[in-house]
Amino acid sequence: MAGFATRRRRETADEELVRTLFTEHGKAMLAYATRLTGDRAAAEDVVQEALVRAWRHLDDLGNGKGSVRGWLLTVVRNIVTDRVRARNARPAEVAESPTTVPVEHDHADHVVDTMVVLQALDRLSPEHRVVLEQVYLQGRSVAEAADVLGIPPGTVKSRSHYALRALREHFPARHLGMEGVA
Amino acid sequence: MTTDNHVDVDGYVDGELDTEQSREVESHLAGCATCREEVNSLRELQSYLQEVPPEALLDGPPADADLLLQRTLRQVRQESARTRTGRGAVATTVSIAAVAAVLAAAGGVLIGRNAGPDQPLAVPEPTPSASSSAVPGTRFASSVDPSTGARLTVRVEPASGFVRVNVAVTGLPAGEPCRLIVVGKDGRRETAGSWLVSEKGAQQGTTLDGTALIDPDDVTAVMIENTSGQKFVSTPV
């Protein structure tokens, strides 16, 4: 049967894809989903759905449109957001604990942002990237970041200044300069 | 930096200045468009960075989540079985090419994030096998430029009146601002995308998607050149 070998190959490739995504990004996805939902079981459902969506939308996820991780984390957040909305839209459902999930009203912007930022970070030198990750993503103070990285606080500061400008160089122009001085 | 001699923009943006110093900076900003733009641009970048969840920095598989993986794989298996009976063989071939491309991209991005260059790396590449044409008329081509050593693999997929291109390119020097160019029969050139070759892109290769407004039948070549027009690699399609 001509189709059989092809079919086997596809199933293997599908599973390999999902397994690869899980192995590389699973921890980040589950941790993020757990924080947003406050519930490990619900978070696992969200991660499962996000991985299946990734597999269904390979073209969006793939090359050139942003980092795979940015895509996956954004999808995790969107799924959580949509579930909260759906639950809130349902009338008269009682005994529901007030959700702590920040509902974004427009997730389209964020899809681009997270993907673009992670992709731009990837292009920085490790020294620059690590400083920005500590200071901005982890929200550490200069002193804390200096401690974690084992470099003087002054170096954290100057490096973060250079790194921010280096990051700007790697940002697609269309994502900057729209700030308007509101 | 043009703002070096003006005021402490970095200190201001980081919120490190005292009231007096901040006031000085602000009165300077009121009259200096350059510094104002610098402050706005840096603040915008900061806000983008702050929006990225810290979990983005975690790597690897989650602990104690094997059941989750098994459940997910089962769902994928079931859905792909349904798709197969529902949509037939065309869906099958689409998937192989796309899965291969994504695996390559996922590997590239991820390995790139954490591993040093000494680790074996999957160079992202579209899968130019005859059986994996996503759309009828999709063409694959690959060339190595003997002088630059750059290698370009392309997939050109016809759309109505234009083409979608997916390329994997290796061997470009880091720091080069590059363009992906689709060449038409009459010599017409359309830029399908542009980017800056990163360190990692130089080491591991880069995959890109783009589109070009050239009739699918008229596409004759795809090439990579830098913004000053130096050609790195070109492949006839």
ipTM score here?
Answer: 0.78
Asked whether residue B4 carries a pLDDT value surpassing 80, the answer given is no
Shortest CA distance from B193: residue in chain A: A64
pLDDT range class, residue B121, cuts 50, 70, 90: very low
Q: List the beta strands (DSSP E) in B128-218.
A: 139-144, 151-158, 163-170, 177-184, 189-196, 206-212
Average pLDDT over residues B192-211: 84
Confirm whether A72 is domain-assigned: yes
Confirm whether A29 is domain-assigned: yes
At B42 the pLDDT is: 92
Size of chain A in residues: 182
At B222 the pLDDT is: 93
Residues of B in contact with A23 (CB under 8 A): 60-61
Instruction: Output the CA–CA distances (angstroms, integers) from residue A83 to A43, A45, A124, B79, B216, in the order listed.
Output: 11, 11, 36, 22, 42
A window 83-112, beta carbon within 8 A of B: 110
Confirm whether A180 is domain-assigned: no
At A105 the pLDDT is: 42
Confirm whether A1 is domain-assigned: no
Residues of B in contact with A140 (CB under 8 A): none
Are residues A105 and A25 part of one domain? yes
Residues A73, B55: C-beta atoms closer than 8 Å: yes
At B139 the pLDDT is: 80
Which residue segments constitute the domains of chain B, with CATH numbers given? Answer: 9-52 (no CATH), 66-237 (2.60.40.150)
- How many domains are contained in chain A? 2
Least confident of A35-49, B133-147, B215-229: B133-147
Edge-first strand listing for the sheet containing B189-196 = B189-196, B177-184, B219-226, B231-236
In the block, tokens 């969006």 appear at A60
Q: How far A163 CA lies from chain B's nearest CA (Å)?
A: 11
Asked whether residue A74 carries a pLDDT value surpassing 70, the answer given is yes
Residues of B in contact with A59 (CB under 8 A): 98
Test mutation, B57, B84, B131, B132, chain A, max A CBs within 10 A: B57
Residues B77, A15: C-beta atoms closer than 8 Å: yes
Closest CA to B10 of A165, A72, A178: A165
- For the stretch A33-48, pLDDT in tens is 999 999 999 999 999 9
**How many Cβ atoms from other residues are within 10 Å of residue A6's Cβ?**
17
3-state secondary structure chain A: CHHHHHHHHHHHHHHHHHHHHHHHHHHHHHHHHHHHHCCHHHHHHHHHHHHHHHHHCHHHHCCCCCCHHHHHHHHHHHHHHHHHHHHHHCCCCCCCCCCCCCCCCCHHHHHHHHHHHHHHHHCCCHHHHHHHHHHHHCCCCHHHHHHHHCCCHHHHHHHHHHHHHHHHHCCCHHHCCCCCCC
For residue A30, the domain's CATH number is 1.10.1740
At B219 the pLDDT is: 92
Average pLDDT over residues A154-164: 95
At A63 the pLDDT is: 55
Size of chain B in residues: 237
Shortest CA distance from A11: residue in chain B: B77
pLDDT range class, residue A162, cuts 50, 70, 90: very high
Asked whether residue B157 carries a pLDDT value surpassing 90, the answer given is no
CB nearest A27 (choices: B44, B60, B210): B60
Shortest CA distance from B197: residue in chain A: A123
At B131 the pLDDT is: 34
Average pLDDT of every residue of chain A: 78
At A68 the pLDDT is: 86
- For the stretch A83-101, pLDDT in tens is 888 777 655 444 444 444 4
Tell me the two tokens of residue A24: 């590389």
Asked whether residue A109 carries a pLDDT value surpassing 80, the answer given is no
Asked whether residue B41 carries a pLDDT value surpassing 80, the answer given is yes
Q: Considering only CA atoms, give the Rg of chain A.
A: 20
pLDDT range class, residue B204, cuts 50, 70, 90: confident
Pick the residue with more confidence: A73 or B147?
A73
Confirm whether A37 is domain-assigned: yes
Are residues A104 and A23 part of one domain? yes
User: Which residues span the domain enclosing A129?
Assistant: 123-172
Are residues A106 and A32 part of one domain? yes
Q: Report the alpha-carbon distance of residue A36 to residue A39 in Å, rounded.
A: 8
At B98 the pLDDT is: 54
Let me know the angle formed at the C-alpha of B206 by A32 and A63, rounded to the nearest 5 degrees: 50
